[in-house]
Structure 1
Amino acid sequence: MPRIIAGALGGRTIPGPPGKGTRPTSDRVREALFSRLQGWDAITGARVLDLYAGTGALAFEALSRGAASATLVEMHGATARQLRRTAAELGLEDRCDVRAAKAEQVAASLAETAGPSDIFTLVFLDPPYEVATETLEQLLVTVRPALTDDALVVIERSSRSRPIEWPGGWADDGAKAYGETVLQYGGPQTD
């Protein structure tokens, strides 16, 4: 079972979703990711969008470390229900919005309806490894209207996957490999 590494809820465990097929981010990768995010001052007060939530480990870690809110998207209904239960057990239900739908559908809906107070500053894309790179590249274009101009996007992929090519108008903030896992950082370009 994944655990929250640091912050107000550090040490608490996160139940896994029912069934199989979820690949939680390892503690080692999550620790490195959040160390970098804290160095960039990207967590405190963040409005988080986790488009492939799975166990919710990334969103719950961000909330534990001071993010203001998180929207967790999970297409598997039973897993979405587990995310809601976990948020309640952690006392985070008032800061979490769990949506049981496909990432592409939620991204399109958010892009159409996002107002100034509910656009996102930090986005996690940690899809199943079989999700095509092209799908993720299109997802970035779709979700852009729901992001602040200085939003940070973190993409977690297999090191065997083709790296994301950031769309026009996006900045590439680098990548880091951890064994089989690669984290890519980027976001809308503001200059």
Structure 2
Amino acid sequence: MTRIIAGTFGGRRIAVPPKGTRPTSDRVREALFSRLDHSNVLRGAHVLDLFAGSGGLGLEALSRGAAEATFVEASSSAARVLQANIRELGVGTSATLVRERVQPYLQRGGPSAKADLVFADPPYDIPRGEMADMLAALEPALASAAVVVVEWSTRAPLPDWPHFLVPVARKEYGETVLHYAEFEPPATSGERAEPDEPAEHRTY
């Protein structure tokens, strides 16, 4: 079991699959959400939780004021646990579970509402090329100024970010590292690229 740290469901326990996933530790989640709260990312956000496992990240976001969360998880056993967690917390109207591999899902366009916040917590042994393809496939799913957070191993270099994602921070916690990036949409014809909130003005 693990727990929701703060917000509406603060202190509530959620189940985790017995094997096959790597739940984000309380310490890392607390640091992650403290930064997101400080940057005013969560309130009313549409969240996309990739490689969701038990759903700890997306459920924490809902607890702290996100409007809705889409959870993408291919493992049937993990998806069953996640569905039970959604039911136990009573967030069925704001949570959508997609039982599919991440890459095909993103290639089909992703969630119906573009994501303001994306969590990606892939297995550490995912091939580097597959990881790069996943990051590249995010573009159609992102809202303007979306934030992408990738949880990764400190022992493995992250593939290069695609051109539309600007890295803004990298924070290590023992064996885990959180990479933060912001979406920089390409300028449409005749327009200059002027993001509403430049990456250098945000703090994480």
Query: Aligned pair in 2 of structure 1 residues 22, 141: CA closer, same or farther (>3 Å)?
Result: same
Query: Aligned pair in 2 of structure 1 residues 40, 133: CA closer, same or farther (>3 Å)?
Result: farther
Superimposed CA distance per residue, residues 117-161 of structure 1 (whole angstroms, 9 cap, x where no aligned partner):
x11110000011111233222112212111112100000001001
Q: Which runs of 5+ in 1 are unaligned?
A: none
**SS of equivalent residue, structure 1 residue 11:** coil
* Percent identity between the two aligned chains: 45
Structure-1 separation of matches of 2:16 and 2:167: 32
Structure 1 residue 188: Cα displacement: 1.7
**SS of equivalent residue, structure 1 residue 98:** strand
Q: Which runs of 5+ in 2 are unaligned?
A: 186-192, 194-204
**SS of equivalent residue, structure 2 residue 138:** helix
Q: 2:161 aligns with which of 163, 166, 177?
A: 166
After TM superposition, the score normalised by the length of structure 1 is 0.93
Superimposed CA distance per residue, residues 94-134 of structure 1 (whole angstroms, 9 cap, x where no aligned partner):
111001110111111235xx65xx11110000011111233
Matched, 1:127 2:126: no
Q: Which residue of 1 aligns with 2:142?
A: 147
Q: Which residue of 2 aligns with 1:91?
A: 90
Q: Which residue of 2 aligns with 1:4?
A: 4
Matched, 1:81 2:80: yes
Matched, 1:183 2:182: no
Please state which structure has a larger fraction of its residues in helix: 1
Whether the 8 Å CA contact 1:158–1:180 is kept in 2: the answer is: yes
Q: Which residue of 2 aligns with 1:101?
A: 100
Instruction: For 1:64-79, list aligned pairs within 5 A.
Output: 64-79=63-78
Amino acid at match of 1:124: F
Higher gyration radius (CA):
2
**SS of equivalent residue, structure 1 residue 79:** helix
Q: Which residue of 2 aligns with 1:59?
A: 58
Aligned-pair Cα RMSD in Å: 1.3
Structure 1 ranges of 4+ moved more than 4 A: none
Structure-2 separation of matches of 1:174 and 1:31: 16
Structure-2 separation of matches of 1:105 and 1:169: 20
Structure-2 separation of matches of 1:91 and 1:184: 31
Whether the 8 Å CA contact 1:133–1:161 is kept in 2: the answer is: no
**SS of equivalent residue, structure 1 residue 22:** coil
